[in-house]
Amino acid sequence: MHALGLALGSLPLTTADQFRSGLLWFPWLLAGLVAYAAIEFQIRRVERGLTEEEIIQSSPNPKRTRKLRASSWVLLKWLAPLIVIGFVLFGDLDAAPMPMALAVLWIAFAEWCFSAPLVQQRHSIWLHAGFTILPIYVLWAFFGGYNAAVDATIREPTLVTVDLAHSPIPVTGKFLRSLDHGVLLLDSAGTLQVLSMSDVDRISYNKPYTPYRGLLCEWWNGFCAAYQRRRMTRGITTSHQPSKSAPLPPDSRTRSAPGSPHADH
């Protein structure tokens, strides 16, 4: 809602709306945890379970290996501020990489906070992990919703036509969110509207449905058209081909069913 210039208190949100938002975001958070664990275990398998120091000391040139392994993290720490500056200068169109950039900056800040030897001795590893990870999830949740609002208004808007129950003039605009008591819409004049469910008669999506065509069809339309014609021709030929049923036994073609007038007595 912050990306739309709205406060949560200005919308008719209910507990059901909050619960539904949680259900929508929970699979993504869970997928992020699973992806992180998968990448972490894959890296450990490739590095044969060795620690960072063991890998460096077992290399032919430990000093060069240490610099090489730290170079990617140094590059990220230089790129992250540039991404934040790009967002400040160019606005919402550059908001997509902001969660990653802010996560890198926060991890670098947490490392600096716990870099002193006395701090490491007097605070547990769990405090360090919580101080590092929990704010990252808050940042990802905030900018996840922020980017969802930017997608709905600028990048990939869903154009709809809303027929009202008490007005013959429909409302056209960009569909933002469906609430428990209404629909949040950005009309063609750029005005945010909250339409009550009692006033909404029908919502029509202006973009026609297009199934997933596959990468080959998206890249080479000519190949896809020829392939689809071949499939359709094959399907028509198969549907018009007479079915081959198994031949009946010779005696079953002349023998009458029991109880019929021609049955044997």
φ, ψ (nearest 5 deg) of residue 205: -85, 125
Beta bridge partners of 178: 183
Q: Which residues of the chain have pLDDT under 50?
A: 236-240, 243, 245-246, 248, 251-265
pLDDT at 264: 45
Angle at 143 between CA 142 and CA 146, to 5 degrees: 95
φ, ψ (nearest 5 deg) of residue 175: -75, 125
State the number of CA atoms in the 13 A half-sphere of 162 facing the CB.
Answer: 27
Would you state the structure tokens that stand for residue 115, as one six-digit string?
Answer: 């870099």
Alpha helices per DSSP H over the chain = 15-46, 52-57, 62-90, 98-113, 117-122, 125-150, 215-219, 221-240
pLDDT at 14: 77
Which residue is it, tokens 């949040």? 184
How many Å apart are CA 94 and CA 254, to the nearest integer? 81
pLDDT at 246: 47
Cβ(171)–Cβ(185) below 8 Å:
yes
State the number of CA atoms in the 13 A half-sphere of 184 facing the CB.
Answer: 17
pLDDT at 253: 42
State pLDDT tens for residues 203-232: 888 888 777 777 777 777 666 766 666 766
Cβ(73)–Cβ(102) below 8 Å:
no
pLDDT at 257: 43
State pLDDT tens for residues 49-93: 777 788 888 888 888 888 888 888 889 999 999 999 999 998 888
pLDDT at 255: 45
| Helix or strand (DSSP H, E) at 200 | strand 200-205
Would you state the structure tokens that stand for residue 23, as one six-digit string?
Answer: 């259900």
How many Å apart are CA 31 and CA 185, to the nearest integer? 30
How many Å apart are CA 226 and CA 232, to the nearest integer? 10
Cβ(184)–Cβ(176) below 8 Å:
yes
pTM to 2 decimal places: 0.67
